[in-house]
Amino acid sequence: MTAQNAGIIGMGHAYPEGILTNADLEKMVDTNDEWITTRTGIRQRHKAAANEYTSQFGTKAALQAIERAGIKPTDIDIIICATTTPDQIMPSTGALIQAQIGATNAAGMDVFAACSGFLYGITMVESMIRTGQIRYALVIGAEILTKYVDYTDRGTCVIFGDGAGAAVLGPVPEGKGILATKIKSDGRYEEQLYCPGGGTKLGITHDSIDNRDNFFKMKGNELFKVAVRSMADISAEMIEKAGYTVDDIDLVVPHQANQRITDAVASRLGVPEEKVYSNIAEMGNTSSASIPIALDECIESGKVKEGSLVLLTAFGGGVTWGGTVIRF
């Protein structure tokens, strides 16, 4: 069987109507707008209501991506949902979304790689499409992070927001699609960004709840250094593997973790500011959803068009990271 390139043929995104501004956070925790924007670049983030959950937004994004791809839900062969905030322990959110969209011929599963999850997903399905094992894949990044945020910890509660983005991948002509992609992890850095409670190690007990172990915890200064180095290095490696130079890249769409991290990665790579997309001021850090949301915004606005050479790069808890070069 002849190998075929895999590319993104349709995208979509969705997020809650609720918005939590920096002014709102000033009333909840010891912080202020200047402190938040100076350190993160974030001015607001979307926040799900108590009765809203991850698969709802993953489904909305998925249906939009499928419609734009010009295929039917029954054409999808596999659904990979990248999330750290599933609806429930089981079944997987991917399986739940499969049922909600009517993708009756697909396998559904989750990928648990934090903020790098979307790149993990597209890296997995790229080889399956290229080798002819499947034809169409749906990769979703969906998160309701605000339900895992400790609103007494100003170091983390100001960062995270909710939303979902989705991409349909399928065969594309030679020279287009995913030209290079790679994912990595290093579990030795687990405590730089983690949520210790809720699993089989600590469980859900009175002690774990009292200790606030079921909320995200982060060591921001240490994480910054590892994130910048990892994202810049894997990006440079993937650009070279794809046969291009940094100057050839039309747009960089990084994981929206923190504006200072984005700026530092761009500086280390030698990419000018105008070639780096950022929506963190409005969306905050939506973990696995951030890249597909941002990339879909770029497609909708015309920043990414036919022929654009785009670099995607991410870093997240685990720690995990990845880089992908795509020709649209």
Q: From the centroid of its chain, how far is CA 113?
A: 9
Are the beta carbons of 89 and 65 closer than 8 angstroms? no
Q: Residue 192: its pLDDT value, please?
A: 86
Q: Residue 298: its pLDDT value, please?
A: 98
Catalytic (active site) residue 46: no
- Give whole-number Cα distances, 183 to 229, 235, 237, 308, in Å: 14, 11, 12, 22
Q: Residue 1: its pLDDT value, please?
A: 55
Q: Residue 219: its pLDDT value, please?
A: 83
pLDDT in tens, 217-256: 888 778 899 999 999 999 999 999 999 999 999 999 999 9
Query: How many whole angstroms separate alpha carbon 317 and alpha carbon 179?
Result: 26
Q: Residue 193: its pLDDT value, please?
A: 86
Task: Map out the domains of the chain as residue ranges.
Answer: 5-174, 179-327
Q: Residue 220: its pLDDT value, please?
A: 72
- Give whole-number Cα distances, 131 to 3, 110, 172, 284, in Å: 5, 22, 13, 37
Are the beta carbons of 162 and 144 closer than 8 angstroms? yes
Query: How many whole angstroms separate alpha carbon 183 and alpha carbon 120?
Result: 6
What share of residues in the chain are helix, strand, coil (percent, to 5)?
Answer: 40, 25, 35
Q: Residue 59: its pLDDT value, please?
A: 98
5-174: CATH topology: Peroxisomal Thiolase; Chain A, domain 1 (3.40.47)
Q: Residue 2: its pLDDT value, please?
A: 67
Q: Residue 195: its pLDDT value, please?
A: 87
Q: Residue 183: its pLDDT value, please?
A: 98
Q: Residue 286: its pLDDT value, please?
A: 98
Q: Choosing from 5, 22, 258, 285, which is the catalytic residue?
A: 285
Q: Choosing from 115, 157, 195, 298, which is the catalytic residue?
A: 115
Which residue ranges in the chain fall short of pLDDT 50? none
Same fold, 5-174 and 179-327: yes
Classify domain 179-327 by CATH architecture.
3-Layer(aba) Sandwich (3.40)
pTM of full prediction above 0.75 = yes
**DSSP string over 51-84:** T--HHHHHHHHHHHHHHHHT--GGG--EEEEE-S
Q: Residue 325: its pLDDT value, please?
A: 98
Q: What token pair was written down for 42? A: 């974030």
Q: Choosing from 13, 46, 157, 255, which is the catalytic residue?
A: 255
Q: Residue 9: its pLDDT value, please?
A: 98
Catalytic (active site) residue 285: yes
Nearest 5°: phi and psi at 154? -70, -15
Burial bucket for residue 146 (CB in 10 Å: 0-12, 13-18, 19+): buried
Dihedral sign computed on CA atoms, order 208, 214, 219, 223: positive
